[in-house]
Copies of this chain bind each other. A is one copy, B any other.
């Protein structure tokens, strides 16, 4: 493994760490900055993903749509009593070409309610495409948030 390859891997770690920190600190206005202008973002279930179904719980085809989503969230939730904590594990490059990298990672999100109750809120995989750009050196051109669970109604509120 050469120095460039090692550097790339650590940059990807930084990308996922910064992404998680953005969501966990409720800095949602910065969230679209992790994506390219013509990005694709989707939250779907493992079942739908495996079946190749294009539907998703959230489906956005541009950074502008992600901004709209944050605006809507801010208007809907004046007070946000929950906290979220993402743990990301196993960031892996699964493919590469001259334009970018295919990357996967596992994630777990714990939600803490205002009364202190902590629950596993979501687990699953990120199946992503990254290209050069952004503060950490990479941006998401595509991010598929593939949830292990089909029970997704409560997820509508926040990005993952």
Which residues of A are in contact with B by a Cβ distance under 8 Å? 1-3, 6-7, 9-11, 13-14, 16-18, 20-21, 24, 46, 83, 85-92, 104, 106, 108, 110, 112, 114-120, 122-125, 148-152
Question: Chain B contacts of A150 at CB under 8 A?
Answer: 114, 116
The 9 A-B pairs with the shortest beta carbon distances in the complex, nearest first, are: A116-B151, A17-B90, A1-B7, A112-B148, A87-B89, A116-B149, A85-B123, A83-B148, A118-B120
Question: Residue on B with the closest CB to A88?
Answer: B89
- A148: which of B2, B85, B123 is its contact (CB, 8 Å)? B85
Question: Chain B contacts of A108 at CB under 8 A?
Answer: 85, 87, 108, 110
A25 → B minimal CB distance (Å): 9
Question: Chain B contacts of A112 at CB under 8 A?
Answer: 123, 148-149
